[in-house]
Amino acid sequence: MNQVAPFYADHVGSILRTKAIKEAREKFQSGEITTQELREIENEEIKYIVEKQKEVGLKAITDGEFRRAWWHFDFLENLDGVEGYDAAGGIQFSKVQTKSHSVKITGPIDFTTHPFIEDFIFLKEAVGENHVAKQTIPSPAMLHYRGDMEYQPYIDDADKFVADLAAAYQKAIQAFYDAGCRYLQLDDTSWSYLCSDEQREVVRERGFDPDTLQETYKTLINEAIKYKPADMVITMHICRGNFRSTWIAEGGYGPVAETLFGKLNIDGFFLEYDNERSGDFSPLKYVARPDLKIVLGLITSKTGDLEDETAIKARIKEASEIVPLNQLCLSPQCGFASTEEGNILSEEEQWNKLRYVVKIAEDVWGK
């Protein structure tokens, strides 16, 4: 199998929080344990899931996002000029809503120090030399899309906000690289929202034109990764929403495919292809670069049932008629716990899913 990320058998990153993590979080919230005691429990549980990922055969190893409550807010609210706050309501998913939380921009955006750097150093040491420590962070587009703007200079000059945000991410990427990171993933829901008629209307209600926003995010992301070192791989996961096994957006990648696959300087895309809401493979015709990897999210992380192996292999073959097989990879369509609540399946089912990804990948691409 290929030894350069993304790997033929890969995963998005988040993992169901273990019982010990959940209990420790509750005790911390009630004041029964200190910040340091919580971190020590997190350390032990991260070491445990690192070994579990190795055991199921994965090459890329994450910390499962075990130190986070959210896939995006924990990173964003630790940028300079950003604050987390308890919002009036949560994010609305299909038939369910998250707990109330959001972020607001209150000052000039920058990246100086950030707790995720220390967290990555711990992960890399736990992973060791024979596997690759993978770091996940939200795409810069997520602060633009989700952040409530309260800083007047950015209200007066939207281009200045985009420029400062890109510059902050340039510093973040370099900081992760200096800490030893060679595999970084940007998680992004905005592109899938731009594929959804319903969500495009939401974008308009918020005062943005969906097509203009697409161009803004192309510029923002390309500027953010402009100075990435040559030996660092940066991928992007395009998510349609993932909370307690529910979703937000639906629609194929057609409306954004030409920009996404042809104009973003990303090394690989993790794409959700686990059901009919995801559309077909035809938008992949815009994949022109021979070095661009497409990770097919054909295995759902929303349920514990294993997909039909023959059907999955047939879909990989179908995709390979558009994109060469050696540019394709396989993964679950999303992480298992975009928030600390996690999807509705058991830990054993989760590990079986990841083991299944490895098994199918070895059958298709070889060991």
Is 85 part of a structural domain of the chain? no
pLDDT tens-digit series, residues 277-318: 667 899 999 999 999 999 999 999 989 999 999 999 999 999
pLDDT at 276: 67
In a domain, 73, yes or no: no
The residue assigned the tokens 């899938």 is 192
pLDDT of the residue at 207: 75
- For residue 94, being part of any structural domain is answered with no
- Domain of residue 207, CATH code: 3.20.20.210
Q: What pLDDT is stored for residue 38 in this prediction?
A: 95
Whole-angstrom Cα distance, residue 222 to residue 200? 23
This prediction's pTM:
0.92
In a domain, 112, yes or no: yes
Inform me whether the pLDDT recorded for 88 exceeds 80: no
Taking alpha carbons only, the member of 178, 318, 302 closest to residue 241 is 302
Residue percentage of the chain with pLDDT more than 70: 91
Contacts of 214-217 with CB under 8 Å at 24 or more apart are: 214/256, 214/259, 215/259, 216/144, 216/162, 217/141, 217/144, 217/190, 217/191
Per-residue pLDDT at 139 exceeds 60: yes
State residue 289's pLDDT score: 95
Among 164-178, 197-211, 337-351, the range with the most confident prediction by mean pLDDT is: 164-178
C-alpha closest to that of 270 among 243, 306, 242:
242
**pLDDT for the residue numbered 145:** 86
Work out the end-to-end distance of the chain between its first and last CA atoms, rounded to an integer number of angstroms.
5
If pLDDT is split at 50, 70 and 90, which confidence band does 201 have? confident
Model confidence over 238-286: pLDDT tens digits? 987 654 444 455 668 888 999 999 999 999 999 999 766 667 899 999 9
Prior bond of 115 cis (ω within 30°): no
pLDDT at 87 over 80: no
What domain range is 215 assigned to?
17-66+106-363
Measured CA to CA, the distance from residue 82 to residue 110 in angstroms comes to 9
Buried b (16+ CB within 10 A) or exposed e, 162-199: bebbbbbbbbbbebbbebebbbbbbbbbbbbbbbbeeb
pLDDT grade for 346, boundaries at 50, 70 and 90: very high
| Residue 294 in domain | yes
pLDDT score recorded for residue 97: 41
* pLDDT score recorded for residue 313: 98
Of the ranges 149-153, 190-194, 199-203, which one carries the lowest mean pLDDT score?
Answer: 199-203
Identify whether 86 is part of a domain: no
Instruction: Let me know if 129 is exposed, middle or buried by CB neighbors in 10 A (0-12, 13-18, 19+).
Output: exposed
Number of domains forming the structure of the chain: 1
Q: Which of 11-20, 226-235, 268-277 has the lowest mean pLDDT?
A: 268-277
Q: Contact, 222 vs 168, CB < 8 A? A: no
Whole-number mean pLDDT of the chain? Answer: 90
C-alpha separations of 203 from 104, 130, 144, 190, 363 in Å: 18, 44, 12, 10, 42
Residue 11 in domain: no
Q: How confident is the model at residue 154 (pLDDT cuts 50, 70, 90)?
A: very high
> Does residue 90 sit within a domain?
no
pLDDT of 245:
43
Cβ–Cβ contacts within 10 Å for residue 35, how many? 8
- Say yes or no to pLDDT of 356 above 80: yes
